[in-house]
């Protein structure tokens, strides 16, 4: 595509700028938006303020300055005349967002070296001129349908101009700036545009903010709203708008900007080298593919800048963090940078891993500092705690069915894959897995293994027999043979069947008595973990440091006092995401722990969601995720935590530490 990106003033308007008046101010080093402010003076202010030329075409939204004079009239009260214009609130900010794939592709071609592709920009303050409002908006730009109070107003409707003006002033009607066959035919060149706000002496101060915005890949867009309470998505401060240093973007795109010749003094001043940026890229995925995450904005990176100094930088939704350094005299060599740590919301620790790690999908992350290159963006993998990932799935099955361990294992498997491989995409995409998510799994394992989980597989409502498909995934993560255990104190560790870690994990989670007790296979399992269901599986594989609670079982145990202690532990030690196992009868618990099953009654492996409200500081029960669709409340009754109305004698719990 031809050059279509534009410097913010035309060459004609730039010729009116006093070169000596130009000052460039970049936002504070730790500002999330990294806006650029340009101040200059127009030599002939009587000729009127210069018009804004947005960087790229797209949909335009106006946000009125609440402190500006004038009103935002309803359509019926809108007088589309010069007299009416004089009463409107026409000072505010302008937002332009790319709205078609052709322009997206062209920006990518022109800005191939940009670490993040921008698609939204703001200009403030601007003035909506009379010509723009009464001519460009009403008859120059392509007319679109406008949602009225009771019906959609079509362009042919006689009152469409009233609705267009009212809707635009209120920020609810968003016309499109289109490309033409030639640069002169582009809407921004063919029609009058909004102008900069100019003082009577010709002074102009303009702030430009540039970002990337899109729906997140690992959660609902509404989650971004929760991170920005009271802030409109049209505001650059909203979490869904991942800021990119505007000065950096303009400098990189400079060779492709219309009216950005070095002979234009304003363009020359703006595009000169200034603050340097040393970016590094965070992804939640194991490979360095574009990420846009709800997990990034609540977190900040602490970056060491050499000689003991450090800077705290917000992480934008696109995951590219720009480490800034202002010019110094004399020039300095590139800094020595390290990612020291990542600050996370309270109670939500974040670990990370160098993206260059071999088979990073199968390596546990930590908090060891990572050197950052100052010459090319370093890839760093950020991991959401698995205990949070396991709660992200909202696709619950139809209530009922003998699918208790299958459902908890399905949830845990998909969460672990999102944690280590697909960065939250697998669960968020639900029943339609994108190609990029399939490719992430295929690159880690193979296409056949990826198909086990793609498109919502295995189905929540499927037969529990499909749990065997999930075992295959755990075997990919834990392929090494497990050690043999002396389980009877005789020193005998002989076994005819040797299990790998994934097989051991699966048998413990499912409490497969025939495997846990058979002479040829039983020594693959430690007595510490047998009969403890999902918590035992998680502890045995090394994904939990210890049980949160596990009553004794030998002899007459658990005694009434031990069951009371178990209840107290369950009501004080759990945190969301913990895996649980209960046995309806304490005699069954002893049978399973001693490998003498099957039980006379039943057991179950749900997942802890939260506590029920407290009375006198003690929770009245717990809420779990099981196979009954959504959350199940398990209140305490007669000194037992109940499950669907029945008291359960023994509870075991463990929390993930990955």
Tens of pLDDT along 500-527?
999 999 999 999 999 999 999 999 999 9
Asked if residues 323 and 337 have their Cβ atoms less than 8 Å apart, the reply is yes
pLDDT reading at 462 higher than 80: no
Dihedral Cα 216, 221, 224, 230, nearest 10 deg:
150
Per the listing, tokens 């031809």 go with 2
Q: State how far the Cα of 551 lies from the Cα of 651, in Å rounded to an integer.
A: 8
Q: What are the structural domain ranges in the chain?
A: 11-271, 279-384, 404-654
Q: What pTM value is reported for the model?
A: 0.94
The pLDDT assigned to 265 comes to: 87
Q: What are the residues facing 6 on neighbouring strands?
A: 258
Q: Strand, helix or coil at 107?
A: helix
Q: Which residues contact 465 (CB under 8 A, 6 or more apart)?
A: none
Local confidence band at 395 (pLDDT 50, 70, 90 cut-offs) = confident
In Å, how far are 251, 265, 296 from 272, measured between CA atoms?
7, 11, 31
State the Cα–Cα distance between residues 621 and 1, nearest whole angstrom.
Answer: 63
Q: Tell me the average pLDDT across 409-434.
A: 96
Long-range contacts (CB closer than 8 Å, 24 or more residues apart) made by 78-82: 78/162, 78/163, 78/165, 78/166, 80/134, 80/138, 80/161, 80/162, 80/165, 81/134, 82/130, 82/134
- Give me 637's structure tokens: 């009754």
Q: Render pLDDT for 15-68 as a digit per residue (tens, 0 to 9).
A: 999 999 999 999 987 788 899 999 999 999 999 999 999 999 999 999 999 999
Strands 23-26 and 36-41: antiparallel
3-state helix, strand, coil in the chain (%, to 5): 30, 25, 50
Strand partners, 210: 121, 244
Q: How many angstroms separate the CA atoms of 45 and 47, rounded? A: 5
pLDDT band at 401; cut points 50, 70, 90: low
pLDDT tens digits, 142-156: 999 999 888 999 999
pLDDT in tens, 524-545: 999 999 999 999 999 999 999 9
Main-chain phi, psi angles of 395, to 5 degrees: -90, 90
Give DSSP secondary structure letters for 304-368: EEETTEEEEEE--TT-EEEEEE---SS--PPP-EEEEEEE-STT---EEEETTSTTGGGS--B--
Angle value at C-alpha 572, between 569 and 576, nearest 5 degrees: 110
Two tokens, residue 402:
């003998």
Give strand pairing partners of 60: 96
CA distances from 185 to 179, 218, 243 (A): 7, 40, 30
pLDDT at 348 > cutoff 90 = no
Average the pLDDT over 108-126 and give the result.
96
């Amino acid at each position: 595509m031809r050059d279509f990106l534009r410097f913010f003033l035309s060459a004609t308007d730039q010729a009116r700028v006093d070169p000596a008046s130009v000052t460039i101010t970049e936002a504070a080093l730790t500002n999330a938006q990294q806006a650029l402010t340009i101040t200059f003076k127009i030599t002939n202010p009587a000729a009127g303020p210069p018009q804004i030329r947005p960087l790229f075409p797209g949909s335009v939204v106006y946000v009125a300055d609440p402190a500006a004079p004038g009103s935002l009239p309803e359509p019926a009260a809108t007088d589309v005349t010069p007299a009416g214009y004089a009463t409107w609130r026409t000072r505010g900010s302008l937002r332009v967002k790319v709205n078609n794939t052709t322009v997206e592709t062209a920006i990518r071609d022109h800005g191939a070296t940009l670490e993040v592709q921008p698609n939204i920009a703001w200009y403030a303050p601007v003035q909506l001129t009379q010509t723009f409002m009464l001519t460009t908006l009403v008859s120059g730009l392509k007319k679109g349908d406008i949602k009225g109070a009771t019906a959609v107003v079509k362009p042919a409707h006689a009152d469409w101009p009233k609705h267009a003006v009212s809707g635009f002033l209120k920020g609810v009607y968003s016309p499109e700036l289109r490309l033409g066959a030639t640069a002169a035919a582009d809407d921004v060149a063919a029609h009058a545009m909004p102008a900069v706000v100019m003082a009577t002496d010709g002074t102009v101060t303009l702030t430009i903010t540039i970002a990337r915005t899109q729906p997140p890949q690992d959660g609902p867009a509404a989650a971004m709203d929760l991170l920005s309470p009271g802030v409109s998505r049209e505001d650059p401060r909203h979490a869904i708008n991942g800021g990119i240093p505007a000065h950096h973007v303009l400098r990189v795109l400079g060779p492709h900007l219309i009216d950005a010749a070095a002979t234009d003094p304003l363009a020359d001043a703006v595009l000169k080298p200034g603050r340097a940026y040393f970016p590094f890229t965070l992804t939640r995925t194991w490979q360095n593919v574009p990420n846009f995450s709800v997990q990034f904005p609540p977190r900040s990176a602490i970056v060491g800048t050499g000689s003991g100094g450090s800077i705290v930088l917000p992480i934008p939704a696109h995951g590219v963090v720009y480490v800034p350094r202002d010019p110094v005299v004399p020039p300095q060599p590139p800094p020595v940078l390290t990612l020291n740590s990542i600050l996370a919301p309270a109670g939500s620790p974040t670990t990370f891993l160098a993206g260059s790690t071999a088979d990073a999908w199968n390596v546990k992350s930590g908090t060891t500092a990572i050197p950052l290159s100052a010459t090319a963006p370093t890839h760093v993998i950020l991991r959401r705690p698995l205990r949070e990932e396991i709660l992200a799935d909202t696709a619950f099955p139809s209530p009922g069915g003998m699918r208790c361990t299958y459902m908890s294992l399905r949830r845990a498997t998909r969460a672990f894959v999102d944690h280590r491989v697909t960065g939250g995409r697998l669960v968020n995409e639900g029943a339609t897995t994108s190609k990029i998510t399939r490719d992430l799994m295929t690159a880690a394992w193979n296409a056949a293994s990826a198909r086990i989980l793609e498109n919502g597989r295995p189905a929540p409502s499927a037969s529990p027999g499909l749990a065997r498909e999930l075992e295959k995934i755990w075997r990919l993560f834990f392929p090494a043979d497990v050690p043999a255990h002396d389980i009877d104190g005789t020193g005998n560790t002989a076994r005819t069947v040797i299990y790998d870690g994934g097989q051991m994990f699966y048998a413990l989670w499912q409490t497969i008595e025939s495997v846990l007790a058979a002479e040829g296979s039983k020594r693959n399992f430690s007595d510490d973990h047998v009969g403890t269901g999902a918590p035992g599986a998680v502890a045995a594989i090394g994904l939990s440091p210890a049980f949160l609670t596990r009553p004794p079982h030998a002899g007459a145990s658990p005694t009434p006092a031990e069951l009371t202690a178990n209840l107290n532990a369950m009501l004080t030690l759990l945190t969301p995401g913990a895996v649980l196992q209960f046995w309806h009868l304490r005699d069954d618990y002893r049978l399973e722990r001693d490998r003498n099953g099957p039980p006379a009654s039943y057991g179950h492996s749900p997942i802890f969601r939260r506590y029920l409200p407290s009375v006198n500081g003690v929770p009245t029960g717990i809420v779990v995720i099981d196979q009954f669709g959504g959350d199940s409340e398990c209140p305490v009754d007669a000194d037992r935590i109940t499950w669907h109305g029945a008291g359960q004698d023994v509870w075991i719990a463990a929390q993930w530490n990955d």
